[in-house]
Structure 1
Amino acid sequence: MSGPSYEPVHWSPDHQEDTPYNPPRSPISPDPRQTSFPPETAPLAHEDLPAGAARPRFIGAALAREGPNPRESYASSSHSYPINDDYNSSVYALNDARPGSTQPNFYGANYRDDPDGYASTANLGKSPGLTESPYLAEKRQTYAAPRTQSRKRMIIIVSVVVALLLLIGVGLGVYFGLVKPKQGAKDTSGAASDHGNDDKPDKNATTPATRAVVTGGDGSKVTMDDGTTFTYTNKFGGYWYWDESDPFNNGARAQSWTPALNETFKYGDDVIRGVNLGGWLNTEPVSTTTSVPALYEKYADGPNPAVDEWTLSEAMAADTAGGGLNQLEDHYKTFITELDFAEIAAAGLNFVRIPIGWWAIETRDDEPFLAKTSWTYFLKAIKWARKYGLRINLDLHALPGSQNGWNHSGRLGTVGFLNGPMGYANAQRSLDYIRILAEFISQPQYKDVVVMFGITNEPQGPTFGQENLARYYLEAYNIIRNAGGVGEGNGPAISFHEGFQGLGKWVGMFVGSDRTGLDTHPYLCFGGQSADPYSARINTPCQNWAAGQNNSMSQFGLTVAGEWSLAINDCGLFVNGVGLGVRYEGTYVGGGGPRVGSCDPWTNFATWSPAMKNDIQQFALSSMDALQNWFFWTWKIGNSSVTGKVESPQWSYQLGLQQGYMPTDPRKAIGSCDPVAPFDGPLSAWQTGGPGANTMQAAFTDAYTWPPTSISAAGAVETLPSYTPTGTIVTLPGPTFTQSASSSIDVGSGWANAQDKSGMYVPIPTCSYLDPWVNPTAAPPSPLCAGSPNRRAFAPPSRITSAPKS
């Protein structure tokens, strides 16, 4: 049986005309943190009215006996839904409490003031023997039917009023009727994109200018930055929201079951179902096999092939005829676009993890990267995520000196972070970059979109030791909390990769910390290779991962699989790296055993049978259920410029949807690992900010102070090169907007805590430094600094950021 089909987002380049709308009754949000506005009202259809008459505003399902969705005028609460039927009920707020609860009913309780609600919930909250809602019966008894003559008079009056309103309102845009979320911030009308081409009023005209729609659900038209449009496809009740005049409005929702951006995402209760945008702003060969043109394939041959972004940048810079280093920006523009964000929400996903390198902030000395440009596209990612209701996990994927020596760290080679003679200086510099990013994303304009910060991707704990990694994590934690401030929701959730130490090694650490979690990357493909088919591996994720995730969730706190894939072997173009071969075929340069077989059956997805696709999908469902909170690696794999197709299909979520081997609704995974039940919250170790949120025991904080006493492969810290915090701090810019009113939009200063005035770590003029990527076995300079053989004579005291006060 073939897997489910995937309906992609369709778009067309044509510019469709906007249709009239009723003007907003609520003010534009003056502040992105404002949480409520008066509800919008809108007319409803009623079949008893004469042609041309205005429709009553509060009948809906209660009278028309239609349902079960909420009426579009129910605007001021957080129970936000797209328009489905003008007859739908608008009285959710009148419902009684859920059975067994003292809390008022809410949008997910399924009770409707509607006698024709879902059969399974039609009697929820009703007394035995009643044939309709007690609220509905009460209303019908209280409000008797009006006399016929009064009704006719009312119809005439309403008709006249409507006619006048139509004359006054000629030229207004579409009233699109999607209810506003709780923050609602302003009316769900306005500009749909930042293309800046809204119709301008004629100077001689007497009618207002047309404004484009700013929100919509399944089937609505979306206008993108360049003015092109596409039809939004979201079968899960999600809706987009974008108004250029109110660009920090967080009214969008990815799916009906995911909190809107202006609502609280309850970690441990709400499930993270996300994808990585791997290879976009931090390139690596496996993800960016092709873009414009193929990034790594173009420079894979020759005596000095491009194997990481460092060598890719060098090769591009030398290739002036081919576009030079600006080819990277061409890649940023085209590899991931707004359409991808729309499709991600439509796929039932609610988070994106976005890897970036430190060169998004700055470069130094001979670092060849395209500096600062990727930050511009990260700002676009924030805009697009906000527009489609997606949350972002900002992942610092590459650090100076390399935290693991792998190609995705920026430079393939050795580990120079917390290791070797430049290990301490590289860590100082990395902490500065964490601080700069934390200050930006903690600003109120961005904190509800960029809600999580993965501070270091895959640090090589076995190389430099868990103790020094924990010291670094604690210092980073203090820096981030100082940037964001203490309080409900201030500053992002902080994700610590377990450093290949195992989840259990972190139990007992960071107890009482504010919103911290563990990140783990469970891959099956890089170990022993097997020819077993997917049908024999379906339960492997449940057996290998489910219990460990549960234990960590209950003993440490939030535990998320930041990366995983469908690969059960290492077949695929550049999966191990450029020119490194594959274990499965026995060609891996690092060893790994004899040849198991050919990779062709695993990579040529065009030959996969419906049965095989179904088995892969079952493997995906088992993985999702076992991991519970996860980010798949990755959303998209580019086509090979040689074969014209994806050569690593098990790593592409998008391709899996298109080909039918990835579930179109990730909620289908629930129960796949039965009888191992997933963690059922709440997170006992999770804090929520505010008083008591940062109560780590002194025994822990004193034992893991910064800096370390010594660095692996180098010795005592005081004998090693270090930087001094006297440099001018780098701040990150906010986005720009094309609308003329954008000059009044506050995009933030890039610095959330104005009291954080410490300088940036920079070299000491009188000291000697090695290359940040120097071989860890190299000896440090001697003497380190002119005129003094002792570091203490010239280096300032170590900066230890104190824990924020409650």
Structure 2
Amino acid sequence: MSEPYMNGYDNDAARHFYPQHTPQAYAYTEKPAGAHAIHAKTQKRKNMILLIVGCAIILILAVILAIYFCVIKPVKDDGSKGSAASGSSSSANVARLIVGKDGDDITTSAGTTFTYRNKFGGFFVVDEANPFNDGAQAQSYTPPLNTSWKFGEDRIMGVNLGGWLVPEPFIAPQLYEPYLDNPDVNGDEWSLSIAMANDTANGGLSQLENHYKTFITEEDFAQIAAAGLNWIRLPVPFNAFGTIEGEPFLPNVAWNYTLKAFEWARKYGIRINLDLHTMPGSQNGLNHSGKKGYVAFASSVMGLANAQRGLDIIRRVTEFITQPEYKNLVPILSIINEPQGQDQQVMHAFYLEAYYMIRNITGTGEGNGPYIAVHDHFEPIANWANFLHGADRLILDSHPYFTFGGQDVQSIDRFPPLPCGTWGPQFNASRNTFGVTIAGEWSLGASDCGQYIWGLRDKPHTTNCDEYWNDYTKWTDDMKAKFLSLAKSHMDALGDFFFWTWKTGVSRNSPQGGTLVGAPCQWNYKLGLEQGWIPDDPRSSTGECARLNVVAQPDQYFKGTFESWQTGGLGAGTIAPTATAGIDVWPPPALATIGGLPADGWFNNNDNAGGMVPITGCTYPDSWNPGDVPPALCTGPAAADASASAASTPTARLPSAAVNRAHVVAKGIAQVHPPRPPPTVHAVARTNLESFPLLSPI
């Protein structure tokens, strides 16, 4: 018999709403024999117990009052509630521990103030003596950071911080619109960076850092927790870790703001899915990959070189977030966002190589490094059911959107039930076979309306955008209710999710004379929360598919638990031979178009091989454009010098302190685990690239 569709988290989520039944004590019809005989002794014993308990309570109250009046109250009395984040200290230079709750005031390091609101029982923590204190809790139903996250029991309810460190025109239109008259600016960061660098009168590339400073702030993190959300997905560009000659991006600076995100997320008890959103050469040719147009990551004659740079970035990030100070905060590493245009076997080989590399650093088993999220390469998620069966803590990430089908969508009316039948069974089937499966991105974009959705100059396929979709001030209550139902049905069907995105900026070309969010309001979680088409409690989405009468077969439910090896338990890391059958040893033949180049193991036993940059004196093709003419083999003094450098120069480690951070973290990057030799069958060719630090510590 068919039943209403429900995701595998329904029972767990229901616990948050319904009190558990408490059985009543048995009632005797008459007293047991001998009850009066023992009453006197029992009463004396009870009196003694009550006296002891009373003394203990008095002692506990004395300790609490001492802490309050000696530590917490002086902080509040000096007018700096929650302001330890600004780096100030008391007159006695006593490090303060502040545990803030709903209604407390916060002064940020930038000098702004706001009131912390959290109706879900969350609290923030500022610990001046230990800036890595993981005691904060986003909500009462979310485990604090210092408690392990249990996939299959705990539910990800998250949001992306899109457009912050990886700008996109529909999210941050104010960055692109000053250059609309420049035909070379096409909506990607490459062309934007060139235009900004030439615009010295307005600050050059510093305009981008000003965007970093202002678009997302500490208050956003507090508001995310207040919205009932417990995770963020943080898109980070590859240029946060350095650039090479010819790349116009602002280098390294985004890493400073990544560290700020770490600091703020820790303060408010929010976990992070760290998403490597762009890759050298562009992994998909879309405007959010760095450069629009061509795919030259793991494709074309420089595809292997670009992929090796990507692997190096993944390695350095892994070393950083596996440190004890960060492993609770960043439990997921998404190693590449939305690759497409590569041969399927090439991407399978890349994923396997990245997996081996990461687990060589972290070890295997629960608590040893992050979960590794791989994107579905825009293939049906059912195709991944047996991929790397037995791999330790691998996540499949899929991005279900209605927006990009090229259809003329005239109304929201038919959409609310669609996620339940379209994606719910697929995601549950993947959980039952592959393992942990998440929706790393989704939105309420039923149509493709909204400023710059397709890019800076491309037009939508929907023909009634201005009349129906774009101006939310004209939406009827019925229309808002249908958007709200669509939001809930997504959440219910997808289970573990990250909405794209938290906020979008105001476009000068938006409705009402540029005063509204012109980039699509259906993609703005914060705005939807304020206007009523996003639920003010994401847990209320539980059961929405059933309320919409979407039916599912019994075998379309998540079974409720993952296999032990899928979450780092027994058997984790023992990959079945059949699971790697057909996956090429890295580098795969499809990328081996450059013959006769020097090759050796990329990572040595101490994991100190250098980063990938061009060898001075050697000639290369354009690493951002495809081509089929291999370069001539680089020989002579330059190649010899490169080999010597590769043997002696370790990779530059990521700095652990951002410029102008509230507190300076002096600790460097230490190797968390003893070095582990890589599998000998996975040596990586260097392809004319020498070892050299890409990034110097701050």
Shorter-chain TM range is 0.7 to 0.9
Where 1:268 maps in the other structure, the secondary structure is coil
The structure 2 residue matched to 1:770, chosen from 621, 640, 647, is 621
Kindly state the Cα deviation for residue 584 of structure 1 after the two structures are TM-superposed: 1.1
Where 2:276 maps in the other structure, the secondary structure is strand
Is the CA contact 2:95–2:127 (under 8 Å) kept in the aligned structure 1? Answer: no
Aligned mates of 2:292, 2:65 — CA distance in 1: 67
Aligned mates of 2:234, 2:329 — CA distance in 1: 12
Kindly state the Cα deviation for residue 535 of structure 1 after the two structures are TM-superposed: 2.6
Find out whether 1:128 has 2:26 as its counterpart: yes
Aligned mates of 2:409, 2:281 — CA distance in 1: 38
Is the CA contact 1:191–1:244 (under 8 Å) kept in the aligned structure 2? Answer: no
Runs of 4 or more above 6 Å deviation: 164-170, 720-726, 794-797
Aligned mates of 1:720, 1:284 — CA distance in 2: 40
Is the CA contact 1:622–1:673 (under 8 Å) kept in the aligned structure 2? Answer: yes
| Corresponding residue number in structure 2 for 1:651 | 523
Kindly state the Cα deviation for residue 226 of structure 1 after the two structures are TM-superposed: 3.2
CA gap of 1:549–1:142, structure 2 versus 1, over 3 A, is farther
Is the CA contact 2:236–2:277 (under 8 Å) kept in the aligned structure 1? Answer: yes
Aligned mates of 1:141, 1:568 — CA distance in 2: 70
| Corresponding residue number in structure 2 for 1:347 | 227
Find out whether 1:801 has 2:685 as its counterpart: no
| Corresponding residue number in structure 1 for 2:480 | 613
CA gap of 1:718–1:421, structure 2 versus 1, over 3 A, is closer
What does residue range 581-600 of structure 1 map to in structure 2 within 5 Å? 581-585=459-463, 597-600=464-467
**Ranges in structure 1 where 5+ consecutive residues have no aligned partner:** 1-107, 111-117, 131-136, 178-188, 202-208, 586-596, 730-752
Aligned mates of 2:230, 2:403 — CA distance in 1: 26
Aligned mates of 1:324, 1:309 — CA distance in 2: 14
Between structure 1 and structure 2, the one with the greater Rg is 1
CA gap of 1:754–1:224, structure 2 versus 1, over 3 A, is farther
The structure 2 residue matched to 1:779, chosen from 611, 623, 629, is 629
Aligned mates of 1:518, 1:165 — CA distance in 2: 46
CA gap of 1:198–1:707, structure 2 versus 1, over 3 A, is same
Aligned mates of 1:267, 1:170 — CA distance in 2: 40
Aligned mates of 1:352, 1:721 — CA distance in 2: 42
Deviations 1:562-619 (A, max 9, x none): 111001111001111110111113xxxxxxxxxxx34342010011111111110001
Find out whether 1:457 has 2:337 as its counterpart: yes
The structure 1 residue matched to 2:506, chosen from 605, 616, 639, is 639
Find out whether 1:571 has 2:449 as its counterpart: yes
Where 2:331 maps in the other structure, the secondary structure is strand
Is the CA contact 1:173–1:211 (under 8 Å) kept in the aligned structure 2? Answer: no
Aligned mates of 2:373, 2:68 — CA distance in 1: 51
CA gap of 1:190–1:529, structure 2 versus 1, over 3 A, is closer
Find out whether 1:684 has 2:534 as its counterpart: no
Aligned mates of 1:288, 1:507 — CA distance in 2: 37
Point out the more displaced range, 303-312 or 762-771.
762-771
Find out whether 1:319 has 2:187 as its counterpart: no
Letter in 2 for 1:354: L
CA gap of 1:778–1:662, structure 2 versus 1, over 3 A, is same
Higher relative contact order (CA 8 A, sep 6+): 2
Aligned mates of 1:635, 1:613 — CA distance in 2: 18
CA gap of 1:169–1:310, structure 2 versus 1, over 3 A, is closer
Aligned mates of 2:263, 2:275 — CA distance in 1: 17
Find out whether 1:244 has 2:128 as its counterpart: yes
Find out whether 1:758 has 2:630 as its counterpart: no
CA gap of 1:175–1:559, structure 2 versus 1, over 3 A, is farther
Aligned mates of 2:232, 2:86 — CA distance in 1: 24
Letter in 2 for 1:380: K
What does residue range 434-453 of structure 1 map to in structure 2 within 5 Å? 434-453=314-333
| Corresponding residue number in structure 1 for 2:291 | 411
Is the CA contact 2:233–2:272 (under 8 Å) kept in the aligned structure 1? Answer: yes
Aligned mates of 2:253, 2:605 — CA distance in 1: 26
| Corresponding residue number in structure 2 for 1:707 | 586
What does residue range 8-157 of structure 1 map to in structure 2 within 5 Å? 121=20, 123-124=22-23, 126-129=24-27, 144=46
Where 1:479 maps in the other structure, the secondary structure is helix
Kindly state the Cα deviation for residue 232 of structure 1 after the two structures are TM-superposed: 1.2
Aligned mates of 1:119, 1:176 — CA distance in 2: 38
CA gap of 1:548–1:317, structure 2 versus 1, over 3 A, is same
Kindly state the Cα deviation for residue 489 of structure 1 after the two structures are TM-superposed: 0.8
CA gap of 1:165–1:680, structure 2 versus 1, over 3 A, is closer
Letter in 2 for 1:610: D
Aligned mates of 1:367, 1:145 — CA distance in 2: 79
What does residue range 471-486 of structure 1 map to in structure 2 within 5 Å? 471-486=349-364
| Corresponding residue number in structure 2 for 1:623 | 490
CA gap of 1:787–1:494, structure 2 versus 1, over 3 A, is same
Is the CA contact 1:503–1:552 (under 8 Å) kept in the aligned structure 2? Answer: yes
CA gap of 1:483–1:598, structure 2 versus 1, over 3 A, is same
Aligned mates of 2:303, 2:203 — CA distance in 1: 35
CA gap of 1:327–1:143, structure 2 versus 1, over 3 A, is farther
Letter in 2 for 1:200: S
Kindly state the Cα deviation for residue 785 of structure 1 after the two structures are TM-superposed: 2.7
Is the CA contact 1:708–1:717 (under 8 Å) kept in the aligned structure 2? Answer: no
Kindly state the Cα deviation for residue 193 of structure 1 after the two structures are TM-superposed: 2.4
Aligned mates of 1:722, 1:323 — CA distance in 2: 44
Q: TM-score, normalised by structure 1?
A: 0.69
Is the CA contact 1:288–1:637 (under 8 Å) kept in the aligned structure 2? Answer: yes
What does residue range 196-215 of structure 1 map to in structure 2 within 5 Å? 196-201=87-92, 214-215=98-99
Kindly state the Cα deviation for residue 455 of structure 1 after the two structures are TM-superposed: 0.5
Deviations 1:51-107 (A, max 9, x none): xxxxxxxxxxxxxxxxxxxxxxxxxxxxxxxxxxxxxxxxxxxxxxxxxxxxxxxxx
Letter in 1 for 2:85: D
Where 2:277 maps in the other structure, the secondary structure is strand
**Ranges in structure 2 where 5+ consecutive residues have no aligned partner:** 1-13, 29-38, 648-675, 682-698
Deviations 1:166-185 (A, max 9, x none): 999976432999xxxxxxxx
Kindly state the Cα deviation for residue 786 of structure 1 after the two structures are TM-superposed: 3.8
Is the CA contact 1:428–1:723 (under 8 Å) kept in the aligned structure 2? Answer: no
Is the CA contact 1:555–1:685 (under 8 Å) kept in the aligned structure 2? Answer: no
Aligned mates of 1:568, 1:190 — CA distance in 2: 43
Aligned mates of 1:681, 1:627 — CA distance in 2: 14
| Corresponding residue number in structure 1 for 2:147 | 263
What does residue range 390-429 of structure 1 map to in structure 2 within 5 Å? 390-429=270-309
Kindly state the Cα deviation for residue 689 of structure 1 after the two structures are TM-superposed: 3.4
| Corresponding residue number in structure 1 for 2:536 | 664
**Over aligned residues, Cα RMSD in angstroms?**
3.9
| Corresponding residue number in structure 1 for 2:312 | 432
| Corresponding residue number in structure 1 for 2:471 | 604
Deviations 1:495-549 (A, max 9, x none): 0000011101111111111100111111101114244422321111112101101
Where 2:264 maps in the other structure, the secondary structure is helix
Find out whether 1:193 has 2:88 as its counterpart: no
Q: TM-score, normalised by structure 2?
A: 0.79
Is the CA contact 2:82–2:104 (under 8 Å) kept in the aligned structure 1? Answer: no
Aligned mates of 2:597, 2:162 — CA distance in 1: 34
Aligned mates of 2:391, 2:478 — CA distance in 1: 47
Query: Which has a greater percent of helix?
Result: 2
What does residue range 416-565 of structure 1 map to in structure 2 within 5 Å? 416-460=296-340, 463-565=341-443
CA gap of 1:281–1:567, structure 2 versus 1, over 3 A, is same
| Corresponding residue number in structure 2 for 1:328 | 208
Is the CA contact 2:429–2:557 (under 8 Å) kept in the aligned structure 1? Answer: no
Is the CA contact 2:321–2:369 (under 8 Å) kept in the aligned structure 1? Answer: yes
CA gap of 1:320–1:754, structure 2 versus 1, over 3 A, is farther
Aligned mates of 1:487, 1:525 — CA distance in 2: 39
Aligned mates of 1:257, 1:407 — CA distance in 2: 38
Aligned mates of 1:168, 1:354 — CA distance in 2: 36
